[in-house]
Structure 1
Amino acid sequence: MSFFVPTLKQWGYLDSIHLTLCIVGSRKIDEFADSDYSRQGWEIFAPNLTIYGFDADQEACDRRNAELASQNITWTEKHIPLALWNHCQGASLYVTQHPGCSSLYPPNDVVIDRLSEYSDRHKLISTTQVATTTLDNFFVNLQSPIDLIQLDVQGGELNVLLGGKNHIIPDVLAAVVEVNFVELYKHQPLFADVDQYLRNSQFTLFDIGQKWHGLRQGISLMSRQHRGQFVWTDGYYFRDLIRPDQNHHLKTPDRILKLACLADMLSFYDYALELLGYLTKRYGLSDRRYNFADCIIQSLENNPEAVKHGINTIPFVTELRKYTYLS
């Protein structure tokens, strides 16, 4: 749930921006409602919203596209039956007992056979050849940059990132990336590999999502402190476009506003507030398009919990009040 975006919409600040989201591994939308961006409030950006979904599952893409067509959506969204990778030469898809666990990496029996649930879900059923492409190749003529990318491709997240390293990833503002701490698939990159690549690309890890564990096969004994071996989670990464010691081509008011919206939509309210405050203090005196003082104050005052905790009186917010008469 967003905090500032509804008020930004009300005041017309969203009229001048267009958000583009890319979901790689979009068949998960069929399984998890929280993977469906249209159910998370992103439609508030319509019609200035474009969503691209990629998955090797043709039927899942067709089903999702048909569902969208029947809904008469007011934004642009399409799901493409292609596997994104770090090359365009095609690859083997290892189909598992649970379709959502299929991967371009083969299941690692040495590991999964020792973990409850994973041994069945990741059991190899068949192998098939699929077409692959890269982010850079598919979006070679992309007009609007991808602002947020979500990756859930069962161990192949780093390869997808590498496939967009020349043109697409340098423009991305935020990334939600599934990361593994256990080698469920043979030779797959783990969290350290993905994290190092993203940090070297000037992304900052802000938080992780729900932690998923695995218990030893046939053993249901666990302690209160530990629920088994830490297997995987989602990493939430953002650009830090207001660090004074970093220069980046994305460091423009419009991109920082987009970043604030993404942070807000992903429930990082403090970062969204910091970014909106930065824009107000840096540009708000000379350009009303970036004066969000009244918008910020209204958002805070309309939230009972924020008022209860006295957020209106903190120095950061108090300082913004001097800009309210301009907006």
Structure 2
Amino acid sequence: MNNTGIYALIAPTRLTEVVDVGANPIDGEPPYASMLAAGRCRVTGFEPQADAFDTLQATKGPLARYLPYALGDGAVHSLQICRGSGMTSLFEPDPAALALFTGLQPLAEVLQRVSIQTHRLDALDTITHIDLIKLDVQGSELAVLQGGRTKLREAVAVHTEVSFVTLYKGQPPFGEIDGELRHQGFMPHCYDQIKQAPIAPAVVPGDGGRGLRQLLEADIVYVRDLTRPDAMSDAQLRQLAAIAHSCYGSFDLALRCVALLEQRGTLQAGAQQAYAALLAAPDPADLGP
């Protein structure tokens, strides 16, 4: 396994297909960045904000494409363009919720409202495969998931932002998104990021935006329900292993996928031991995509 990585072991038959909904690059590199840099995945991103879309277009590589669409339920909605780009939403900011977090209030100021046609994921001919979907759409996550139930049957991982305190009027909270994903056959796997905010009027000296204990939002990763592995094809297990290993460092999840593939006879006997040896290898290159 020296210097060959996980792909030599699992040998996926195609590139991993990533859909990034709300691809505005304000939060740094996405979890699939290393896979994309290594040429192991293809990305289709959606971003309706013109400035963010132009930035994505200007910096994209050959395996990425971006479309200026807003995904949702397929209806026409009003896009609330906020002072903070990351607060722009199809939902109206909720002053009562924002009053709890004074640091967010200026960012949620609505500068412009634009009528926009949303698109259902299932209705897009440009998307044929989805292995990993990433969602950061300020309240529209549930609508995107419900509008993509058919295409998401193939997906093995969902990386979505969820809100514990909803900052927009009518925004679905964490529980509704969790229920939808479990209904679609996913289980929670890990938190990728947890966001906290200080409750007004408290301020952390020297860092007014740092949270204390109050949960605000989180990026959470769901994967296909591992208690029912027979529902997953060999191709899905290969893709899940690749995503778990390369995007999230979830080596136990990747090992489980390798073990299942070995049990099915898809991988040769000894695949589990080979993957364990890969993890124990002193060469860091072996752990990359």
TM-score if structure 1 supplies the norm length?
Answer: 0.77
Give the drift of 1:281.
Answer: 2.9
3-state SS, counterpart of residue 193 of structure 2: coil
Which of 173, 179, 190 is the matching residue for 2:156? 173
Q: Which amino acid aligns with 1:57?
A: Q
* Aligned counterpart, 2:28: 33
Q: Within the alignment, does 1:233 sit opposite 2:215 as a pair? A: no
Report 1:1-327 matches (<5 A): 7-9=5-7, 11=8, 13-14=10-11, 16-27=13-24, 29=25, 31-35=26-30, 37-38=32-33, 40-44=34-38, 46=39, 49-68=41-60, 73=61, 75-87=62-74, 89-138=75-124, 140=125, 142-143=127-128, 145-165=129-149, 167-220=150-203, 227-241=212-226, 243-244=227-228, 247-248=230-231, 251-265=232-246, 266-283=248-265, 288=268, 292-293=271-272, 295-303=274-282
CA distance in 2 between counterparts of 1:210 and 1:300 reads: 24
Q: What is the identity, as a one-letter code, of the residue corresponding to 2:214?
A: Q
Amino acid at match of 2:217: W
Deviations 1:119-170 (A, max 9, x none): 11112222111221110111x3644x100000000111001111112x2121
Contact kept in structure 2, 1:23 and 1:52, CA below 8 Å:
yes
Deviation readout 1:293-320 (Å, 9 max, x if unpaired): 4641430331489xxxxxxxxxxxxxxx
Say whether the 8 Å CA contact 1:5–1:261 is kept in structure 2.
no
State the 1:187 CA deviation.
0.7
> Residue 77 of structure 2 contacts residue 115 of structure 2 at CA under 8 Å; is this kept in 1?
yes
Distance change in 2, residues 1:208/1:300 (3 Å): closer
For structure 1, list consecutive stretches of 5 or more residues without a partner in the other structure.
306-327
**Distance across 1 between alignment mates of 2:16 and 2:192:** 23
Matches of 1:187 and 1:37, distance apart in 2: 31
- Aligned partners of 2:122 and 2:147 also within 8 Å: yes
- Change in CA separation of 1:67 and 1:300 when aligned onto 2, cut-off 3 Å: closer
Number of equivalenced pairs: 278
Structure-2 separation of matches of 1:85 and 1:15: 31
Give the % identical residues.
24
**Deviation of residue 116 (structure 1)?**
2.6
Please tell me whether the aligned partners of residues 17 and 254 of structure 1 are also in contact (alpha carbons under 8 angstroms): no
Residue 318 of structure 1 corresponds to: none
Shift in Å, 1:43:
3.0
**Mind listing any 5+ residue stretches in structure 2 that lack a counterpart?**
206-210, 285-289
Residue 79 of structure 1 aligns to which amino acid in structure 2?
A: Y
Misfit runs of 4+, over 6 Å: none
TM superposition score normalised by structure 2: 0.86
User: 2-side partners of 1:103 and 1:205: how far apart?
Assistant: 25
Structure 1 residues 15 and 231 mapped into 2: Cα distance closer, same or farther (>3 Å)? Answer: closer
Give the Cα separation in 1 of the matches to 2:277 and 2:78: 53
- After superposition, the Cα gap between the structure-2 partners of 1:183 and 1:6, relative to the gap in structure 1 and judged at 3 Å, is farther
Task: State the Cα deviation string for residues 188-232 of structure 1 (Å, max 9, x = none).
Answer: 00000000110111100012233212223332279xxx8142110
The answer for the alignment partner of 1:323 in structure 2 is none
For the residues of structure 2 that align with 1:36 and 1:293, how far apart are their CA atoms? 25
Residue 29 of structure 2 aligns with an amino acid whose one-letter code is: D
Partner of 2:287: none
